Structure formats: structure tokens, C-alpha cells
Amino acid sequence: MNGSSSWPLQLEKRILERKARIRQDRDVYFLAMAYLVAQRGTCVRRMVGSVITDKRNHVRATGYNGVPAGRPHCSDGHFCPGAHMESGKGLDLCYATHAEMNALLQVTDNNDLYSIYLTVSPCVSCAKLICNSSIQRVVVGEQYGDFESSKNILVAAKKTVVTIRDIGVELKAPHQITKWEEGPIKIHD
């Protein structure tokens, strides 16, 4: 019984400490995860990450951009013809498969998907792929390329498009996102 009389006080202290910590909302949590996934990318032009969740907010798949399986990686010095092109140019010369494509390829049942979290807005081709899935929400970190065309395709297919600003988050750097009222959430130093 030694110390047993203090356990209610210890429990109360732990509950108060836990309340002091702010639990991240789902959009911030999964978007942060997408930025972590992007770190696995093998494209030297841009590192992009994707996380797909289902209706129960369980992760169903992740994807990052890189060359098809079995090919040497641009990040290892085996550059594809598009590796040194300006960002957004010569996309047909780049061998990388986009993060959204890689994530959608991993999904075994396409009927239960709900959200896709992307570090970078989808290109028009990836927007069309998303439209042909059961994904209902597209949460975007950075707007890239022809965002308006991609957004219009998604909205026409009755997909909800949410930008990082819509959820009250500010992008500080590719490795860090900040919930405005709570301070930085470090993803990778």
C-alpha cells in the first residue's frame, strides 16, 4: 500500500499534462506524414509525398515520386533525360512516377478510400486518376503547376479540395509545417 494514497494525485497530474499537449487534427497529422513520406523520393527535381486514408482515417497507402521499380535512381546519380530540366518543364522526359500514382497502385480495394494528402497539388493526369477512385477529399500542401486546372477537374467530379491554408496551417519549409496557434511541428531536420 506504500504510496497508493497518492495515485489519484498522480493520475490527475498526468491528465492535466496530457491536456496541456495539443493533439493535432487529422489533416495536419496526415499532411505531416506525407512530408515524411516525400523524404523517400528519388527524383532530383522535386520530392513529393502522398498518404491515402480510408473512411475510418486509417492509412491505406503511401507513395513518393521516383523512377519505376528496378530502374536506377536519379538521386543516385543515374539521371533520366528530364532530371536537369526546370521545375514544371519537360515532364514527359522525366521517368518518375508521381507520388499519387504510386500510392493508388498500392491500394488493394479502391472502394473504401476517403482522403489523399499531398505535399504538392496533383498534375492534371493525377487529378484524373484521383477522380476515378473513391477518394472524396484532396488535401494539398503546396500549390504547384496548373493548380486551377487540376482543382477544376477534381471539383467537377465532386471531390473536395482543401489547401493547407484552409486548415489553418502554414508551410515553413519542405520539412516543417506549423499549426498557427500551436507552433512548429518538425518533420525532419
How far apart CA 180 and CA 24 sit, in angstroms, is 12
Q: How many CB atoms lie within 10 A of CB 159?
A: 18
- Per DSSP, the residues of 105-141 read HH-S-TTSEEEEEEEEPPPHHHHHHHHTSS--EEEEE
What is the b/e burial string over 113-123, where b = at least 16 CB atoms within 10 angstroms of the residue's CB? bbbbbbbbbbb
Active site residue 170: no
How far apart CA 60 and CA 45 sit, in angstroms, is 27
Residue in 12, 17, 100, 142 annotated catalytic? 100
Catalytic residue positions, numbered = 100
